[in-house]
A and B are shown apart, each in its own frame.
Chain A
Amino acid sequence: MTAMAHRRLAYLLALAGALLFQIFNENYLAHFLLALCAALPILSLALSLPGMLGCRLALSADPAALDRGSKGRWLVCVEPPNALPLSQLTIRLVGEDLLTGQREHRRLVLSGVARRRPVGLEASTLHCGLLELRVRRAKVCDYLGLFSLPVPRPRPAHMLCLPIPAEVELPVLPEEGTSLPGSTGAARLGPGDDYDLRAYRPGDPMRSVHWKLSSKWDELIVREQVRAAAPMPLLALDRFGPPEALDRLLDRLLGLSRALLDRRRPHAVLWLDRTGMPQLRTVSDERQLTDCLWALMDAPAPLRGPSLEDRPELLRGPDGPVFPIYVALEGGAHD
């Protein structure tokens, strides 16, 4: 039985006692007590109604993103409308990990909130995912605790619980071509090499001058090797499984992605959503990585789902050739 039910029962008992006292006692005191019992709830309502009607709530996360297992807090902020404290505020909250679908219900009882005061609640960061806290129901009661009014629900708050990057050995990536003509001076161009011809610019190594054509065209012509287009690494993962498996998978993904970024290798991340539609995100810096993780974790992941291994045709980059790296739970990433 809730506290409010207890109080209502106690009040009813008191009222019944006063009524019986009035019925069986002929003195004025009995009459006075009965009138007082009837008037007290009205007085309580008169005192508390302005606060009950103007009470507002706000939710926020502190911090907005954190590593899995770190301590994070939800902040529930109550804004009383006037100088009198609120009597008792009961808030039923639902915390949900949008990735794993795990939910927890919380009940928060605040008494005597007299000013804007954030109340911290520990966030559950056991698993990766986009955590959401929303108010299912909130009510504020009068000073006697007999009547209650609902409080408008605030916007939900979100907290990104990030994976912890795992130590993963990168597979051998295809070598990238030289990007600057001068930097490849040491390399001689062989008969089978592709190259372009252009006019000489000061600073070009003399070794790159195409003497035969220069003599023929009567101006200095240099050869510039065409850079070989390096395939973009494509991190492919199957986004399903129990929360613990997803945690490990995301840890490996983050480890791989960070390793690639460390090598200044833009890459793409590919997964299938729960409907089987491919989702592709390009990652070339930390911000894009965060966006990618947000997108990866803001929807429920089923226990079983479509695997990219069954759909090799999807392992293509956004443009140009890709180097697929399949992020698996066990062992290292493989291509």
Chain B
Amino acid sequence: MTDQDPRVSPLSVAADGLLLVCAMAGVTACFLSLYGDARLGALMTAQATPLDQCAAWSPSFLLLSVVFALLSLCLWSLPRGRGRAACGAFLLWAAAAFYARERASHGATLCLRTITDLFSKRVAWGRTFQYDPGLAQAEQGAAARLSLILALYLLALALGWAVVRSRRWWMVVLLTLPPLLPGLLADLYPSWPAFMALSACWCAMLLTSLCRWSAPSGRGRLTLAALAGSAAVLATITLAFPMEGYARPGWALRLEGDLSSATDRLSDLLSRFDGPFGAPVTFVGTTGEADLAGAGPLHYTGRTVLRVSTDRSGRLYLRGASLAVYRDGRWTAPPQGSYQGYLDGAGQEAPVSPLLFPSLLGTRGDVYTATVVDLGAMGNCGYAPYHLVDQDWAETGVLPMEDAFLARREGGQIHTVSFTDAAPRPDPPAPSGEGPEREADLYADYVRSLYLQVPDELVPVLTRVLEEDSDLLTGGYAGADRRDIAAEVAALLERRCRYDLATPAAPEGTDPVAHFLTESRQGYCMHYASSAVLMLRLLGVPARYVSGFTADCHPGRWTHVPDRAAHAWAEIWLDGFGWYPAEVTPAAASAWHEQEEPIGPSSDPLPESEEPQPTPTPSTAPAPSARPTPDPQGDGQDEQDGPGEDAAPASSGLPVQAAAVVSGVLLLLWLGQRLPKRYRDRRLSSPDRDRAALDAYGYLRRMERWGGRMDPRALELAQKARFSQHPLTQEELGEMRALVDRERERLCVVLGPAARLAFRYLWGMPRPARPGTPPKDGG
């Protein structure tokens, strides 16, 4: 920076001032609107956060930011003595910060905590920290305001330098975007006019970046024109694509499905080999237990875990395993031997699996088949639709295990099962002395003995919730249809709680179901299903917890089921029919949820009911686990692929592996250019001048392979460096370096396009000329 500055004119100062005001006011208003939203703050704490209190002062902060911007503009536009003035301004800030260091530190930490809290509530991988400065709420607000004022002052100084002196657009973005990034990543929206102002500043800086060293008056005119043009474009976009009523375009949905499928195929291919891609990253699926206590915010990769092909159109619930016992925030399988004990007690030697009761006892429609390819879902169970018909299990690849799940054949990833549309009969058959009716009757005793258990410590909580929000305990539901009771429980949960994938784990020492129902009142399918099952049991309805996947299927096409389509729901026992699925998680608003007809296990427990469609909850991991899935075997399934369709592309999730590969390749390419160049430059700058000159001669020799010319002077200097007793002078070494540079630049001009590209890359040549630098001519 020089003290004399001929590059300032009134017009350029006005244009720079406008940019600065846009940037400062924009970032201030965006920040306050992102993090000072009292409604969001209330989600975290019962009282207003310090930033909520700052947001109440928004007009003052805006005015202050404009004043700071103008001060910074004046400072950096001074014709001389800018350095001293900037130092003075910084010292002023430092003195103020030192004077109020304690309060400012508290305020900054409180602001940071508010932001991290908000971020961690909404993003799966966010972290929070605890901080209690021991200040009253009003004092906390004052401390936060003080820290914000100090931060604005410093930001104005830095922005002034970036806009007026450096004129680099990326510096402006680097200074203004990071404070907003946590909020934007957490899918929060800033004040739109403020964001427009900030975006206009970014765009204007970008558009003038190539002319940043132009004559000041011309630069000022261009800045004003670019600012006006950017504002017009931003306004046009906002008007053409209004935020209100925005729906994700269909092409984006289709492309997401296609890209996910392509990534899956790549992952499948890579997973056949050992190495960094050998183990597929998926932690969803059904295992022998579901740890509700450890279930925090969910995060998915979008990787396909199942592929399904069926001749039935519509949504399928792919059932995994059911769990029976809830204890200490964890669902587990029935005690070992309990089912065998029931069989022995009932004298059953070759019983019908309870999973087949609906197709045997209910109304039976058309029979369909479904082929499921397991690409890495957890556990050993075979995911299959509801209402399986009795079939030759040896050919299916799966086998019903007790009353809980289908077990996959060892090493098998594919199974094909037949299923049907079945519904409870209006007049269930009376138990007869033989056949499936008798077996179902015997099994019902076992069901009542096992699937009505509720932990004692939860009974008061559940009772209180049922009494508070419904008349299920006191009303006339004693003899009602169990499906009505399940629907009422689902409605209760929908009224009482909020669906949120980013729900953190319940605090230690508290039961997750009790915490969900009484404290946090937010959760996802695991919480909803667990609570519903326990409430149904308390109401005398045998119920159990089931996990699996949902998939929207079309005949003749493979449907790719990503990990985020994992789901959990409840099953209730209907006498004379069998286990009946009950959807209890409220719907999450997403376009893909719309489907033509619910398929398989109805999410609506009442076929004739006018209730809204139950929730096909987008993505939840019913059983997050700490251990990875066994390595799936492709078994040549790729050739069966038809046009893939994503089953549940609801939430965001980039193909992490592909991004990592691309990033790695780009990094290697970048390093491959930078490191040799740095090595060469260091050798040419070696303090041993003779050595450096010989290295330079070596480079010239290597350039001869590219068509370079050996200058006689270079040869002479190299000979002197090699054979003379006198070392080269600094001037001679400089001459040698200049010869190398000149030859490199000459080659960059005379080589063909491809050779030039390769030469520039291998020799780490910079860009031929940088905009804004004095004209550079090479020969």
Contacts and interface: CB of A to CB of B under 8 A. Distances in A.
Interface stretch (A60-68, A114-122, A313-321): A114-122
Interface stretch (A104-112, A159-167, A203-211, A304-312): A104-112
A228 interface: no
B665 interface: no
Contacts of A115: 215, 218
B772 interface: yes
B769 A107 contact: yes
A26 interface: yes
Give the size category of A's interface with B. Answer: 35 or more
Given A29-B184, A35-B237, A40-B206, A111 B211 contact: yes
B90 interface: no
B207 A143 contact: yes
Interface stretch (A43-51, A183-191, A215-223): A43-51
Contacts of B215: 85, 112, 114-115
A301 to B, nearest CB: 21
Nearest to B211: A112
B779 A104 contact: yes
B744 interface: no
Contacts of B652: 24-26
Interface stretch (A1-9, A168-176, A232-240, A262-270): A1-9
A106 B241 contact: no
B767 A36 contact: no
A84 B221 contact: yes
Contacts of B248: 26, 31
Interface string B168-193: 00000000000000001001010000
A93 B777 CA distance: 9
A85 B219 contact: yes
A31 B778 contact: no
A210 to B, nearest CB: 74
B225 interface: yes
Contacts of B302: 24
A210 B226 CA distance: 100
B365 interface: no
Given A2-B768, A24-B653, A36-B199, A108 B775 contact: yes
A113 B775 contact: no
A115 B233 CA distance: 28
Contact of A108 (B211, B771, B777): B777
A93 B779 CA distance: 10
Nearest to B253: A23
A145 B767 CA distance: 14
B201 to A, nearest CB: 13
Contacts of B213: 111-112
B495 interface: no
Nearest to B246: A28
Contacts of A111: 210-214, 771-772
A106 B777 CA distance: 5
B775 A121 contact: yes
Contacts of A35: 237, 240-241
A112 B220 CA distance: 11
Contacts of A32: 237-238, 241, 243
Interface hub of A85, A86, A108 (most chain B Cβ within 10 A): A85
A57 B244 CA distance: 51
A105 to B, nearest CB: 5
A114 B214 contact: yes
A20 interface: yes
Interface string B756-779: 010011000001111110011111
Contact of A107 (B259, B651, B777): B777
A35 B189 CA distance: 17
Contact of B760 (A1, A40, A124, A144): A1
A22 interface: yes
B233 A112 contact: no
Give the size category of B's interface with A. Answer: 35 or more
A85 B214 contact: yes
A131 B252 CA distance: 61
A121 B236 CA distance: 45
Nearest to B746: A105
B615 interface: no
Interface in B189-232: 189, 199, 203, 206-208, 210-215, 217-219, 221-222, 225-226, 229-230
A36 B255 CA distance: 20
B590 interface: yes
A112 B252 CA distance: 39
Contacts of B335: none
B233 A40 contact: yes
A277 interface: no
B242 to A, nearest CB: 9
A32 B190 CA distance: 13
B210 A46 contact: no
Nearest to A6: B767
B233 A31 contact: no
A47 B750 contact: no
B218 A114 contact: yes
B772 A39 contact: no
B234 interface: yes
B455 to A, nearest CB: 39
Contacts of A31: 241, 246, 248-249
Contacts of B249: 22, 31
A28 B247 CA distance: 8
A122 B774 CA distance: 14
A109 B243 contact: no
A119 to B, nearest CB: 5
Contact of B775 (A24, A26, A110): A110
A109 B217 CA distance: 21
Contact of B210 (A88, A114, A122): A88
Contact of B226 (A83, A143, A145): A143
B214 A40 contact: no
B92 interface: no
B184 A44 contact: no
B654 interface: yes
A275 interface: no
Interface in B723-745: none
A84 B11 CA distance: 13
A43 B229 contact: yes
A212 B778 CA distance: 84
Interface hub of B208, B651, B777 (most chain A Cβ within 10 A): B777
B63 interface: no
B650 to A, nearest CB: 8
A284 interface: no
B91 interface: no
Contacts of A87: 210-211
A299 B654 CA distance: 66
Contacts of A107: 749, 768-769, 776-778
B552 interface: no
B768 A112 contact: no
Nearest to A114: B218
B264 interface: no
B226 A24 contact: no
Contacts of A112: 210-215, 218-219, 771-772
Contacts of B241: 28, 31-32, 35
A83 B771 contact: no
Contacts of B230: 43
Contacts of A1: 757, 760-761
Contact of A39 (B226, B237, B590): B237
B774 to A, nearest CB: 9
Contact of A26 (B651, B746, B772): B651
11 contacts: A23-B252, A29-B189, A32-B241, A36-B233, A43-B233, A105-B779, A109-B768, A109-B770, A112-B212, A113-B214, A114-B218
Given A46-B229, A86-B211, 15 more contacts: A1-B761, A23-B256, A24-B653, A26-B651, A28-B189, A28-B241, A32-B241, A40-B233, A87-B210, A105-B778, A107-B749, A109-B769, A110-B775, A143-B207, A143-B226
5 closest A-B pairs by CB:
A112-B214, A114-B218, A112-B211, A109-B769, A111-B771
